[in-house]
Structure 1
């Protein structure tokens, strides 16, 4: 099961009116790509007006719960952006953050290295995620980052379809990713976009894999900031 990131309105996301990168490639080459998600809903609402109203009601509820507005623009037709760091790229970013929090638990050169795809098993992640200091949303299991007017740090609340999920602000994620890039110098002064189009080979190091994952995430978080739209994990 792969991992995609989506930036755009929740109305469009819940309608399923968007395509992952693999679906877009398939369409360009004349074949269909079927996406099977871990939280696939058996019956989905297809009326844009109904979904839009549900999302707007949810935004109002969330804003009242947070004590600050949660009123970014929503529609079924606004632009969206998506990309695929997959679990390897995303997991390597998480491991890099965990190593920066707990360098004492980073595997020594020559020893068995942690698997990005299984980052939750890494001792550094398990220790750092208990009380993260620098990368709170990255290490706290957040899956939705929203364009909020205030920073609630991390919250767990039902999303529009009622399923609970951990959320944080898109501004917090942007700050954490930029800090991670600066502190680890993973790009070594080069433009992150150079690594965006060069997915790592199987067996690449955590740092090599993290360069790709971080480049993908930084590009999408900039879109989310520019357009004040949510960024979601989709799997």
Structure 2
């Protein structure tokens, strides 16, 4: 199961009217890539007006629950942005954040490195996620980051389709990613656009994977802030 990031209107996302990077490459090369998601409606709604109305109702409900406006622009015709850090890049970013919280639990150069795809089992992640300090949304299992007027820290709320999901502010996510880049120096001396094209080594370290994942995530977080749109994990 792969991991993509999506930035754009929830209306378009729930209509499945978007293509992952892999699907876009497949379309360019003349073949179809089918994505099977962990949570997928058996009979999804296909009427854009119905879906947009449901998202609008959900925004109103969430705003009432948070005590503030939740009213970013929504329609099925708005643009979207996407990229693929996959679990290696995403998990490596979470591991580096966990190491920054608990440097004493980072494996030494002589130890077996933690696996980014199995980041949840790493001692540093387990300790940091129990009580995160610097990287609250990165280390708390957040999967949706929203363009909110006020920062709710981390909330547990139902999606428009009903699945309970941890959510946070996209502004906080961007701030955490920038802080991680500053404290670790991961992006220093590198061209982020070049990093987002992919890894150049066949045997990447956790730091290599985190550098790639951080470049991808920070670019999309800043895009979400610029256009005031949600950023979602898609898998």
**TM-score scaled by structure 2?**
0.98
Match of 1:2 in 2: 2
Shift of 1:148: 0.2
Confirm or deny: 8 A CA contact 2:199 2:208 kept in the other structure. no
Q: Which residue of 1 aligns with 2:114?
A: 114
1:167-178 correspondence to structure 2 within 5 Å:
167-178=167-178
2:35 is aligned to 35
Using the TM superposition, give the Cα deviation of residue 202 of structure 1 relative to its aligned residue in structure 2, in angstroms.
Answer: 5.0
Cα deviation 1:153-190 (Å, max 9, x = unaligned): 00001000011000000000000000000000012233
TM-score normalised by length of structure 1: 0.98
SS at match of 1:168: strand
2:165 paired with 1:165: yes
Aligned partners of 2:200 and 2:133: how far apart in 1?
Answer: 29
1:145 matched residue in structure 2: 145
More displaced, 181-190 or 46-55?
181-190
Answer yes or no: is the 8 Å Cα contact 1:200–1:208 preserved in 2: no
CA distance in structure 1 between the partners assigned to 2:120 and 2:106 by the alignment: 14
Partners of 2:19 and 2:5 in 1: CA distance: 11
Aligned CA-pair RMSD: 0.9
Distance of 2:181 and 2:192 partners within structure 1: 9
* 1:204 aligns to 2:204 (yes or no): yes
Task: Tell me by how many angstroms 1:57 deviates.
Answer: 0.1
Match of 1:11 in 2: 11
Deviations 1:184-204 (A, max 9, x none): 001223332221113254531
Partners of 1:154 and 1:167 within 8 A in 2: yes
Indicate conservation of the 8 Å contact 1:101/1:132, yes or no: yes
Tell me if the contact between 1:101 and 1:133 (Cα under 8 Å) persists in the aligned partners.
yes
The equivalent of 1:54 in structure 2 is 54
CA contact (8 A) 1:87 1:117 kept: yes
Quote the residue 1:66 is aligned against.
66
Q: Which runs of 5+ in 1 are unaligned?
A: none
Of 143-152 and 195-204, deviating more is: 195-204
Preserved CA contact (<8 Å) 1:155 1:166: yes
**Deviation digits for residues 96-153 of structure 1 (CA, Å, limit 9, x no counterpart):** 0000000000001121100001000100000000100000000000000000000000
